[in-house]
Structure 1
Amino acid sequence: MTKYGLHGKLTATSGNADKLAAILLEASRLVSTAKGCRLYMVSKDRSDEDAVWVTEAWDSKEDHDHSLQVAGVKELISQAMPLLSGRPEKGQELEILGGPGIR
Protein backbone atom coordinates (compact mmCIF):
# COMPACT_ATOMS: atom_id res chain seq x y z
CA MET A 1 0.00 0.00 0.00
CA THR A 2 1.36 3.41 -0.93
CA LYS A 3 1.27 6.43 1.36
CA TYR A 4 0.33 10.05 0.72
CA GLY A 5 2.93 12.81 0.89
CA LEU A 6 3.11 16.56 0.57
CA HIS A 7 6.11 18.79 0.11
CA GLY A 8 5.61 22.51 0.02
CA LYS A 9 7.37 25.83 0.34
CA LEU A 10 5.95 28.70 2.36
CA THR A 11 7.54 32.11 1.87
CA ALA A 12 7.38 34.52 4.79
CA THR A 13 7.46 38.26 4.59
CA SER A 14 10.95 39.62 5.19
CA GLY A 15 12.18 38.85 8.69
CA ASN A 16 9.28 36.54 9.61
CA ALA A 17 10.62 33.11 8.62
CA ASP A 18 11.51 32.19 12.21
CA LYS A 19 8.02 33.15 13.44
CA LEU A 20 6.45 31.15 10.62
CA ALA A 21 8.68 28.15 11.37
CA ALA A 22 7.73 28.29 15.06
CA ILE A 23 4.03 28.17 14.17
CA LEU A 24 4.61 25.26 11.81
CA LEU A 25 6.61 23.40 14.46
CA GLU A 26 3.67 23.82 16.83
CA ALA A 27 1.40 22.44 14.09
CA SER A 28 3.80 19.51 13.81
CA ARG A 29 3.38 18.80 17.51
CA LEU A 30 -0.41 18.90 17.21
CA VAL A 31 -0.74 16.68 14.14
CA SER A 32 1.92 14.19 15.22
CA THR A 33 -0.77 12.33 17.17
CA ALA A 34 -3.32 12.43 14.33
CA LYS A 35 -4.32 9.13 12.75
CA GLY A 36 -2.01 8.22 9.91
CA CYS A 37 0.70 10.84 10.49
CA ARG A 38 4.12 9.38 9.69
CA LEU A 39 6.09 12.60 9.27
CA TYR A 40 5.56 16.34 9.56
CA MET A 41 8.94 17.94 9.08
CA VAL A 42 9.63 21.68 9.07
CA SER A 43 12.83 22.93 7.42
CA LYS A 44 14.50 26.25 6.67
CA ASP A 45 15.89 26.86 3.22
CA ARG A 46 19.63 27.61 3.29
CA SER A 47 19.46 29.53 0.02
CA ASP A 48 16.32 31.60 0.76
CA GLU A 49 16.12 33.16 4.22
CA ASP A 50 12.36 33.76 3.89
CA ALA A 51 11.44 30.20 2.85
CA VAL A 52 10.18 27.46 5.14
CA TRP A 53 9.50 23.97 3.79
CA VAL A 54 7.04 21.43 5.14
CA THR A 55 7.33 17.75 4.26
CA GLU A 56 4.54 15.41 5.32
CA ALA A 57 3.92 11.66 5.07
CA TRP A 58 0.51 10.16 5.79
CA ASP A 59 -1.11 6.76 5.53
CA SER A 60 -3.71 8.33 3.22
CA LYS A 61 -4.93 11.64 1.80
CA GLU A 62 -8.01 11.25 3.98
CA ASP A 63 -5.82 11.09 7.11
CA HIS A 64 -4.09 14.29 6.00
CA ASP A 65 -7.42 16.01 5.33
CA HIS A 66 -8.74 14.98 8.76
CA SER A 67 -5.61 16.38 10.44
CA LEU A 68 -6.87 19.88 9.61
CA GLN A 69 -9.64 19.23 12.15
CA VAL A 70 -7.20 18.58 15.04
CA ALA A 71 -7.87 21.02 17.88
CA GLY A 72 -5.72 24.12 17.48
CA VAL A 73 -4.65 23.57 13.86
CA LYS A 74 -7.03 26.11 12.34
CA GLU A 75 -5.91 28.70 14.89
CA LEU A 76 -2.28 28.13 13.90
CA ILE A 77 -3.19 28.50 10.23
CA SER A 78 -4.83 31.85 11.00
CA GLN A 79 -1.66 32.97 12.84
CA ALA A 80 0.58 31.90 9.95
CA MET A 81 -1.38 33.49 7.09
CA PRO A 82 -0.45 37.14 7.89
CA LEU A 83 3.25 36.16 7.95
CA LEU A 84 3.20 34.89 4.35
CA SER A 85 4.42 37.05 1.48
CA GLY A 86 1.52 35.84 -0.65
CA ARG A 87 -0.91 33.00 -1.07
CA PRO A 88 0.68 29.63 -0.30
CA GLU A 89 1.73 27.79 -3.43
CA LYS A 90 0.16 24.40 -4.01
CA GLY A 91 2.68 21.91 -2.71
CA GLN A 92 3.78 18.76 -4.47
CA GLU A 93 1.49 15.82 -3.82
CA LEU A 94 3.55 12.65 -3.66
CA GLU A 95 2.88 8.94 -3.74
CA ILE A 96 5.28 7.60 -1.14
CA LEU A 97 6.60 4.17 -2.04
CA GLY A 98 8.64 3.48 1.09
CA GLY A 99 11.75 4.25 3.10
CA PRO A 100 12.96 4.20 6.71
CA GLY A 101 10.09 4.77 9.14
CA ILE A 102 7.43 4.35 6.44
CA ARG A 103 5.47 1.13 6.90
Structure 2
Amino acid sequence: MSTTTRVGRIMTFIAKPGRGEELAAIMMQVAEGLRGSLGCELYLISRDVESPDTVRVVEAWTDLESADAALATTVATHADIDLNDVLGMLAEPPERIDLDTLGGVGL
Protein backbone atom coordinates (compact mmCIF):
# COMPACT_ATOMS: atom_id res chain seq x y z
CA MET A 1 0.00 0.00 0.00
CA SER A 2 1.30 3.43 -0.98
CA THR A 3 1.75 6.23 1.54
CA THR A 4 2.47 8.88 -1.08
CA THR A 5 0.13 11.33 -2.77
CA ARG A 6 2.21 11.13 -5.95
CA VAL A 7 0.16 11.00 -9.15
CA GLY A 8 1.16 8.98 -12.20
CA ARG A 9 -0.44 8.69 -15.62
CA ILE A 10 0.16 7.04 -18.94
CA MET A 11 -1.60 8.76 -21.80
CA THR A 12 -1.87 7.11 -25.20
CA PHE A 13 -2.65 9.20 -28.26
CA ILE A 14 -3.18 7.52 -31.64
CA ALA A 15 -2.80 10.00 -34.47
CA LYS A 16 -4.44 9.71 -37.85
CA PRO A 17 -2.16 7.88 -40.32
CA GLY A 18 1.03 9.80 -40.98
CA ARG A 19 0.45 12.46 -38.29
CA GLY A 20 2.35 10.85 -35.40
CA GLU A 21 5.46 12.96 -35.88
CA GLU A 22 3.40 16.18 -35.91
CA LEU A 23 1.51 15.10 -32.79
CA ALA A 24 4.75 14.17 -31.01
CA ALA A 25 6.22 17.60 -31.85
CA ILE A 26 3.25 19.34 -30.26
CA MET A 27 3.47 17.13 -27.18
CA MET A 28 7.16 18.04 -26.92
CA GLN A 29 6.08 21.72 -26.86
CA VAL A 30 3.74 20.91 -24.00
CA ALA A 31 6.61 19.15 -22.20
CA GLU A 32 8.87 22.18 -22.66
CA GLY A 33 6.12 24.37 -21.23
CA LEU A 34 6.03 22.15 -18.15
CA ARG A 35 9.77 22.38 -17.55
CA GLY A 36 10.23 23.75 -14.04
CA SER A 37 6.53 23.48 -13.18
CA LEU A 38 5.83 22.99 -9.52
CA GLY A 39 5.13 19.32 -8.84
CA CYS A 40 6.20 17.92 -12.23
CA GLU A 41 8.64 15.08 -11.64
CA LEU A 42 8.40 13.43 -15.07
CA TYR A 43 6.73 14.24 -18.39
CA LEU A 44 8.16 11.88 -20.98
CA ILE A 45 7.04 11.85 -24.62
CA SER A 46 7.60 8.69 -26.70
CA ARG A 47 6.51 7.25 -30.04
CA ASP A 48 5.98 3.55 -30.49
CA VAL A 49 8.70 1.94 -32.57
CA GLU A 50 6.28 -0.42 -34.32
CA SER A 51 3.45 2.14 -34.63
CA PRO A 52 4.91 5.64 -35.11
CA ASP A 53 1.46 7.26 -35.11
CA THR A 54 1.07 6.21 -31.46
CA VAL A 55 2.39 8.78 -28.98
CA ARG A 56 2.60 8.01 -25.28
CA VAL A 57 3.08 10.42 -22.40
CA VAL A 58 4.30 9.11 -19.04
CA GLU A 59 3.73 11.56 -16.21
CA ALA A 60 4.68 11.71 -12.52
CA TRP A 61 3.49 14.54 -10.29
CA THR A 62 3.83 15.25 -6.59
CA ASP A 63 0.04 15.65 -6.31
CA LEU A 64 -3.12 15.97 -8.38
CA GLU A 65 -3.49 19.71 -7.83
CA SER A 66 -0.03 20.38 -9.29
CA ALA A 67 -0.78 18.20 -12.32
CA ASP A 68 -4.10 19.84 -13.09
CA ALA A 69 -2.81 23.40 -12.57
CA ALA A 70 0.39 22.99 -14.60
CA LEU A 71 -1.27 21.31 -17.57
CA ALA A 72 -4.08 23.89 -17.70
CA THR A 73 -1.60 26.78 -17.50
CA THR A 74 0.73 25.32 -20.15
CA VAL A 75 -2.02 24.78 -22.71
CA ALA A 76 -3.57 28.19 -21.96
CA THR A 77 -0.28 30.10 -22.32
CA HIS A 78 0.87 28.47 -25.57
CA ALA A 79 -0.99 30.39 -28.27
CA ASP A 80 0.60 28.12 -30.88
CA ILE A 81 -1.04 25.01 -29.39
CA ASP A 82 -4.71 24.72 -30.33
CA LEU A 83 -6.40 21.92 -28.41
CA ASN A 84 -9.00 21.50 -31.17
CA ASP A 85 -6.21 21.05 -33.75
CA VAL A 86 -4.60 18.40 -31.55
CA LEU A 87 -7.90 16.57 -31.12
CA GLY A 88 -8.40 16.77 -34.89
CA MET A 89 -5.13 14.87 -35.41
CA LEU A 90 -6.35 11.91 -33.39
CA ALA A 91 -7.79 8.76 -34.92
CA GLU A 92 -9.60 8.00 -31.64
CA PRO A 93 -10.03 9.52 -28.18
CA PRO A 94 -6.92 9.45 -25.97
CA GLU A 95 -6.56 6.66 -23.43
CA ARG A 96 -5.63 7.61 -19.86
CA ILE A 97 -4.34 5.16 -17.28
CA ASP A 98 -4.03 6.49 -13.72
CA LEU A 99 -1.22 5.01 -11.66
CA ASP A 100 -0.34 4.73 -7.98
CA THR A 101 3.27 5.84 -8.46
CA LEU A 102 5.40 4.22 -5.77
CA GLY A 103 8.90 5.33 -6.79
CA GLY A 104 11.90 4.01 -8.64
CA VAL A 105 14.89 5.39 -10.50
CA GLY A 106 14.50 9.10 -11.17
CA LEU A 107 11.76 9.76 -8.63
How big is the alpha-carbon RMSD for the aligned residues of Structure 1 and Structure 2? 1.8
2:91 is equivalent to residue 85 of structure 1:
yes
1:39 to 26, 38, 42: 42
The list of structure 1 runs, each at least 4 consecutive aligned residues, that deviate by more than 2 angstroms after superposition, is 73-79
Which structure 1 residue ranges, 5 or more long, are not aligned?
A: none
Q: Give the Å deviation of 1:10.
A: 0.2
2:81 to 61, 68, 75: 75
State the TM-score, normalizing by the size of structure 1.
Answer: 0.87
State the TM-score, normalizing by the size of structure 2.
Answer: 0.84
Q: The residue matched to 1:22 in structure 2 has which SS?
A: helix
Report how many aligned residue pairs link the two structures.
101
> In percent, how many aligned pairs have the same letter?
30
Which structure 2 residue ranges, 5 or more long, are not aligned?
A: none
